[in-house]
Amino acid sequence: MLKILVTDGMDKGAVQTLKDMGHEVIEQFFEPEELKEQVKNFNVMIVRSATKVRKEIIDSALQTGNLKLIIRGGVGVDNIDVTYAESKEIKVRNTPKASSSAVAELALGHMFSLARFIGIANVTMREDKWNKKKYKGIELSDKTLGLIGFGRIGRKLAKKAKALEMKVVYNDILGPAKDCPEYSFVSLDELLADSDFISLHIPGNKDKSPVIGKPEFTKMKDGAFLINCARGSVVDDQALLEALNSGKLSGAGIDVFSEEPPQNLELINHPRVSVTPHIGASTREAQKRIGVEVVSIIKENI
């Protein structure tokens, strides 16, 4: 029997499956200082984005040697000190397949919201304002979508965008994808210059430096839209604000922030910004898939 700690919530069906397998499952979030003590008692820890598993947490777990596996229920593992954990023979795994469609759909939702003023129109309607003539939007069809990063999520979004009659181009560190000839691989500079919508689907740099900053905004087409459902650190917030305020960008859709909850109120309250609180994987379907994948990982690794 394993003792399993679920700190940030997990699909109830998956929790029950683990219990039916004979494991003890504790579902509780702990603040860092308390987590340092509690982690000593568990063999497996399952986290999402709220719990940070840093060196001091891992060192505390090493005092008993019970912890053998850390699972991130999601794609990115930047809230876990992976290298350090694995150097101490604690395995780290994630669930990269489960949430791809959910994140792609949210990115697309932000694109619709920005193109048709859906978010701000909701706000002003509830303020008893009838801004019918003010919100003249654009159609997504025939627009160019540039994908920075062409992994699972990028490919899901490309397929959905193509169904909307968008032209899809992409740039990826691995180069052209041989199995996707229907989409065009281009240089990053070409993507920035030609895209009406730019959507980010890349991990953050290890040093937290932005991938998209002032030089990249300068290269973008005037009036473009930027979508970030990847990591908050990949975009320079101040440069983004400047691009929005100058009119260089028509809008931005943001689900992730360098600090969560975000403290940059000027950005999240900007009238041309569509914001969500890091809910890319927050669908019932994705959470069920994540739960199934977590159970599979535990079976394979313990």
Give the neighbor-by-neighbor strand order of the sheet with 3-6: 24-27, 3-6, 44-47, 69-72, 91-94
List the catalytic residue out of 231, 270, 289, 293.
Answer: 231
Would residue 86 show up in a list of annotated catalytic residues for this protein? Answer: no
The interaxial angle of helices 12-20 and 284-301, nearest 10 deg, is 30
Q: What DSSP letter does each residue of 94-137 carry, written as one string?
A: E-TTTTHHHHHHHHHHHHHHHHTTHHHHHHHHHTT---TTT---
Look up residue 2 and give its amino acid.
L
Peptide linkage before 262 cis (omega within 30 of 0): no
Is 260 one of the annotated active-site residues of the chain?
A: yes
Looking at this protein, which amino acid is placed at residue 237?
D
Active site (annotated) includes residue 165: no
Catalytic residue among 259, 260, 266, 285: 260
Of the residues 72, 270, 278, 289, only one is catalytic, namely 278
Interior CA angle at 99 toward 216 and 116, to 5°?
55
Which of 80, 11, 9, 69 lies closest to 293, judged by CA? 11
Residues annotated catalytic, as ranges:
231, 260, 278
